[in-house]
Amino acid sequence: MATTALRGLQMLETLAGMRQPATLRDVAARAGLSESNAFRILQALENEGYLHHLGRSGYRLASRAMALATVIGPRPAMLRLMHPVVARLAAVSGEAAVVHLRAGEFRVLVLGVPAPSDPLLDPAGVLGERSPLAAGASGRIILAYLPESERADVDLHGVTPEQLAAIRDRGYETSYGENHPGINGISVPLLATPDDPTGTPIVLGSMTIAGPAERLTPHTVARLVGPLQGACRDLSPRLAALLGPNPGSTIEALDL
C-alpha cells in the first residue's frame, strides 16, 4: 500500500512538471516507468478525481489535485504575496516574469506571469518544473549566492568559482537560449537578511524576466536590470517575513 501511494504521489509530481495535457507515452518516459505501469497509476488517480483523461490528448491535473495544492503549507500565502509584484514586473518589462525558489540542489518554478503581448504562452517554463542550480540564469544566480559550505554539495556542471564571483559582482545573470531554445532571460536573487547583521544574505530563490530572443536582445536585457532589481527589493523582505525567522530553513522544509 505504501509503495502504491508513493507511486501515485510521484506520478502527480511528474505530471505537474509537464506541459498539459501530456500523453501516456510522455508521462511514462518522464516517470521512468513502462506505459502499462504508468497507465494503471494514472487510471487510479483519474478514478479518484486527481486527473482528467482527455482521450488521445493525454492527461492533466484535475480539481482534486489543485485543491490539495492550495492547502499545503504556506504556498497559498506566498503566491498571494508574489503575484502583484511579478505581474507588475511583467507589465513594466513587456515580457514574462517568473519566480523560482531553491529546493536543495534544484530550483522550482513556483509562479509565472506571461508577457502582456503573449497571454496564451507559458512564461519560459512550466509551473512545478525542477531544474539543477547550475543550469540557466535563474539557477546560477542562486548558486552564486550560496555559502561555500552549501555549494560543496551541489554538482556545478563545470561552473567555476570565478564565474560565480563575477555573477555576484554584477548582481545578475543572463541566459541566451540555454534552457529553452529561442528564449533569453535575466535573473536576480531573492535575498533575505539574516538575524545576525554580520552574516551573509540568505538566498531564497530568484526572479527572472524571460522572452523571445528577437525581443529580449542583449541591449534590452541591460535596460531591464533596474526594474528587475527594484521588484526583488520590494518582494524579498516581505517573502522573508512570511517564511519566518529562519527563511532558508523554511524553504528547505517545504521540500519544493
| Cell output for 128 | 512545478
Bridge partner residues of 107 (DSSP): 102, 131
> pLDDT grade, residue 250 (50/70/90)?
very low
- Topology annotation, domain 75-254: Beta-Lactamase (3.30.450)
pLDDT at position 12 = 85
The letter for the amino acid at 20 is: Q
CB burial of residue 70 (10 Å; 0-12, 13-18, 19+)? exposed
Measured at the alpha carbon of residue 254, what is the angle toward residues 180 and 85, in degrees to the nearest 5?
60
Give the CATH architecture of domain 2-69.
Orthogonal Bundle (1.10)
| pLDDT tens digit sequence for 167-200 | 999 999 999 988 778 889 999 999 988 777 777 8
N-terminal to C-terminal alpha carbon distance within the chain: 24
128 torsion bin: left (phi>0), alpha (psi -120 to 50), beta (else): left
pLDDT at position 99 = 92
| pLDDT tens digit sequence for 9-55 | 888 888 877 777 889 999 999 888 999 999 999 999 998 888 889 88
Q: Would you kindly state where each structural domain of the chain is located, as residue ranges?
A: 2-69, 75-254
Report the alpha-carbon distance of residue 175 to residue 143 in Å, rounded: 14
CB 85 within 8 A of CB 235: yes
Q: With 0.85 as the threshold, say if the pTM is over it.
A: no
| Cell output for 8 | 501515485
pLDDT at position 2 = 46
Among the listed residues 145, 141, 150, 153, the one whose alpha carbon sits nearest the alpha carbon of residue 185 = 141
Residue 3 has pLDDT above 70, yes or no: no
The DSSP call for residue 22 is B
Please check whether the two domains, 2-69 and 75-254, share a CATH topology: no
